[in-house]
Structure 1
Amino acid sequence: MLGQGGGPPWPAPPVTVDLRAPSPAAVRWLPEEECASRVVLADRAARGEFAALQAVLHRLGVPSVRLDAAQADGGRDPLTISLDDGLVTLEGRSFRPTVVWARGPMPRAIPDGYAGSLIGADSWSALVGQLAALAPAGLPGGDRAGRLAQLAGAAAAGVRTPRTIVTTDPRTAEALKGDRLVVKVLDEHFVEAAPGHLVGLLAEVVGREALMRRRPPGFPVIVQEYVEHDLELRVYYLDGDLHAFAVSKPSPDAPWRNPAAVSVRGMPVPPRAAAVVGRLARGWGLTYGAFDLLLTPEDVVFLEVNADGDWRWFETKAGTRALTNAAASMVRTLHVNVLRAAAPPPIGGVLDFLVLGSETW
């Protein structure tokens, strides 16, 4: 029997994230000198991953250009892309992209001084997101499938997933077992309400009785069984290379609301988790992905994969730079292969270690 819905609606108060860039520079070149070919890194500058990645690529001798996707300013020197020869001209410099890595969320709330309209904002977003079509190698690879498609695909591949329903009224989740349920949005957690300000509704673990008393949110949401587990893992897949972090947090939204309560430590990837991640990443054609998994005594439970998943926050919490170094080595290998200058050196891994040094900050 459904409750009367006299309590608050499902979503807890939203969380706001400030992604305004700390610097006005929208394009960063390393090295500054002209280069015929470059890696292209496109993201919101405030997120930090690509700043660290570009610095390591420079140390590895890989030319790159980093674009702040939030600062698409039509008043700058023209940006021109030739589809005939794949040549990109930006700020008066011309180059051919070898590897393009574009990460979301791309800007949507761009003021009139930048784009003038939602169509203009979408056009800049589409350009950044589709730059990979110009390069022989694009990241993250594969399709950015939604959560339902991911869950269905994982289940079809023989991987356990939480029992799930999608509903406009979470109180109809009576078929799901357990006293606790997980409620999350169907699409992206965040929207850009104003330039650089993301507002998000985060996943919650809700007691069944409390959920029955809440009003429906007014839009479709995912409701899942809460899976009791021994360990929560974030596993990063980088073109076959795997890195894992064990995550302990009091609630799903703690990384945003109470980061001090979240514990993160690097660990070897459990073989059964590695098998699941490798199977799904290959099946979905991913070159990069951040997989969220639960380990139970019997199973590996797939929650979701984020093809734009951050890694610097996890690195900082765990006191390592392993992901940034691994991402740089992956991009360099793709870059070298595209240039056809030579196959990746057999001792490339050793050279990378000597150049990059220790994995701790």
Structure 2
Amino acid sequence: MLGHGEDSPHSAPGRPGGHPVTVDLRSSSPRAVWWLPVEESVPGAPRVVLADRAARGEFAALQAVLHQLGVPTVRLDAAHAAAPPACQDPPAYPDDGLPGRPDSLDLTISLDGGLVTMDGRCLRPSVVWARGPMPRAIPGTPGPAGSLIRADSWSALVDQLAAIAPASLPGRRLGRLAQLAGAAAAGVRTPRTIVTTDPGAAAAELPRGRLVVKVLDEHFVETAPGRMVGLLPEIADRETLVCRPSPGFPMIVQEYVEHDLELRVYYLAGDVHAFAVTKPSPDAPWRDPAGVSVRATPAPPRAVEVVRRLARDWGLVFGAFDLLLAAGEVVFLEVNADGDWRWFEAKAGTRAVTNAAALMVRTLHLNVLRATSPPPISGVLDFLLLGTEAL
């Protein structure tokens, strides 16, 4: 029951040694959703900017809570912002059952003053939170080079929009090898790990018993607009890996760590929220979500210490940490700076992370506005405003 950063289950499993899994992230959401105070009429006023794929859902829930707290926001659907302009032939989305896509977003950024104009509306970003991965497959441009340039340009824009904002999230996105090396250097236990194009040979160098195999980078790649295809982690025995042909690309092979508890821990600017996760296999959230048990739990003090230490070392404002507790010792697996949380909340019957994220963003926004004594993340007034009911 090893956690490896699985998020947003949608379909049947794919494994390094088996068939890939397909996730559909297409959406009919508007390209930009503005939530502003009724009396707001000042061009260029500070706004929180949220950018993600609308189909993921986290930012829609976050924007609603921020509106409840009186924070003005604009939420961009990163996929639709990059849709082809009206002068081009519209892309074909055969049999997807979704309405026609809107034109691409009209956008201008002035580095002299940090003003952003979106579809004729002017704002000054106070906080920018962009969640990856950004779209890498965008239709409507003749030739593969044009499509790639369009995708890369919008991805770069969203990633770099934070450069003109006083506050940005999530912070640095480190690869898995950098994470494991950094955690080990900080004195945190990590699984013994080998990166190799020959998992069978690597298996002989690791302790006997079960092994974990997973891809080195993101589990999913975008093969067509909105369609993500990926290979999920698997637990395999040594004999299976020895007999398996080389995949032809580098993969991670790790020792399987026997443990008492698996944790998904969310770090939000110093605040920590944890879920205990029980599942029969790493790909169970996709293959058998009903078989996965998730419950909110107080994070053990040592786990909180590890998460805060690593977040500080790595410059993270937000991160979803996957940890194990093994005989009282914390074992670090990985952290996802863009980790989903709504699925875990729904399974556990809570909205604690959504509320904490909203309070974190509001505090950052108020700090940018130079508000005096902004309320703490766990302020009583905030929880009165948000309510305490479950999802």
Change (3 A) 1:293 1:88: same
- Equivalent position of 2:122 in the other structure: 94
Bigger mean CA offset, 211-220 vs 49-58: 211-220
Contact 2:63 2:75 in 1 (8 A): yes
Question: Sequence identity of aligned pairs in percent?
Answer: 74
CA RMSD of aligned residues (A): 1.7
Map residues 109-258 of structure 1 onto 2, 5 A cutoff.
109-112=137-140, 116-141=146-171, 143-173=172-202, 174-258=204-288
- Distance (Å, rounded) in 1 between the aligned partners of 2:21 and 2:376: 47
Contact 1:10 1:216 in 2 (8 A): no
The Cα offsets for residues 143-189 of structure 1, whole Å up to 9 and x where unpaired, read as 21100000000000000000000110101121111321000100111
- Distance (Å, rounded) in 2 between the aligned partners of 1:49 and 1:104: 12
Matched, 1:15 2:21: yes
Matched, 1:263 2:310: no
Of 27, 33, 42, the match for 2:32: 27
Contact 1:336 1:343 in 2 (8 A): no
Look up the SS of the partner of 1:175 in the other structure.
coil
- Distance (Å, rounded) in 2 between the aligned partners of 1:302 and 1:260: 26
- Equivalent position of 2:71 in the other structure: 62
TM superposition shift of 1:208: 1.1
Change (3 A) 1:34 1:108: farther
- Distance (Å, rounded) in 2 between the aligned partners of 1:353 and 1:342: 20
- Distance (Å, rounded) in 2 between the aligned partners of 1:210 and 1:294: 25
Shift >6 Å, 4+ stretches:
none
Contact 2:266 2:272 in 1 (8 A): yes
TM-score by length of 2: 0.87
The Cα offsets for residues 70-97 of structure 1, whole Å up to 9 and x where unpaired, read as 1113534630000110000001110100
Of 126, 129, 136, the match for 1:108: 136
- Distance (Å, rounded) in 2 between the aligned partners of 1:313 and 1:329: 20
TM superposition shift of 1:342: 2.2
TM-score by length of 1: 0.94
- Equivalent position of 1:274 in the other structure: 304
Contact 1:110 1:116 in 2 (8 A): no
Unmatched 5+ stretches in structure 1: 1-8
- Equivalent position of 1:51 in the other structure: 60
- Distance (Å, rounded) in 1 between the aligned partners of 2:335 and 2:156: 22
Bigger mean CA offset, 31-40 vs 301-310: 31-40
Contact 1:322 1:359 in 2 (8 A): no
Unmatched 5+ stretches in structure 2: 1-14, 86-103
- Distance (Å, rounded) in 2 between the aligned partners of 1:170 and 1:349: 50
- Equivalent position of 2:83 in the other structure: 73
TM superposition shift of 1:346: 6.3
TM superposition shift of 1:356: 0.3
- Equivalent position of 2:50 in the other structure: 41
- Distance (Å, rounded) in 1 between the aligned partners of 2:76 and 2:306: 34
Change (3 A) 1:278 1:224: same
Contact 1:34 1:93 in 2 (8 A): no
Change (3 A) 1:159 1:347: closer
Bigger mean CA offset, 245-254 vs 72-81: 72-81
The Cα offsets for residues 18-64 of structure 1, whole Å up to 9 and x where unpaired, read as 000143x1100002754511000000000000000000000000000
- Equivalent position of 2:5 in the other structure: none
- Distance (Å, rounded) in 2 between the aligned partners of 1:22 and 1:268: 38
TM superposition shift of 1:298: 3.8
2:35 maps to amino acid:
L
- Distance (Å, rounded) in 2 between the aligned partners of 1:307 and 1:10: 23
- Distance (Å, rounded) in 2 between the aligned partners of 1:183 and 1:51: 34
TM superposition shift of 1:116: 4.1
TM superposition shift of 1:134: 1.1
